[in-house]
Amino acid sequence: MISITGVPGSGKTHLSSMLRERGFQVSDLNEIARVHGCLVDDAVDIQCMRSVISSINPKIGEAHYSHLLTGDAIIIMTASEEVLRKRLNERGYSNLKIEENIDALLSDSIFYESLDRVPGNRIMIVNTTNGLSAEEFQKISEFIKRFTIG
């Protein structure tokens, strides 16, 4: 599986929609977690999801925790602190949740957790501060194809 991950507001869902429009099969891992009983008090049970993922084997999975699952490569979506704050405010996030997500962004925790699971050359970081250009999307598509063909 190719994981699309990042803090809320980083562009995961937008990228996933763009990929679907171009024929890629992208699974919403939050929906899979709900359907398969992997939610405990609104938190995802990672062990449960690992088991489910190994049985359904999605090609591409999108969720803020997808990098914690078994996979072939990881795409980390990111944005500047200022843009992320704006996006989360527009979504109605509490100040506490915004600060938690900014902390995760600034500490690069997703990147370091990803390195625990795949080599660095299987991690792509995509900055959506200024949106996602056609050229950037092409690079993402090529990255995905590199790890899904065969």
Residue 18 sits in a domain whose CATH number is 3.40.50.300
Prediction pTM value: 0.94
Whether 135 is in a domain gets the answer yes
**Burial letters 55-91, b for 16+ CB under 10 A, else e:** eeebebbbbbbbbbbebebbbbbbbeeebbbebbeee
Domain of residue 43 covers 2-144
Count of structural domains within the chain: 1
Whether 120 is in a domain gets the answer yes
**Cβ distance 142 to 24 under 8 Å?**
no
What integer pLDDT is reported at residue 149 of this predicted model? 62
Note the pLDDT tens digit of each residue in 1-47. Answer: 999 999 999 999 999 999 999 999 999 999 999 999 998 887 999 99
Whether 48 is in a domain gets the answer yes
Whether 40 is in a domain gets the answer yes
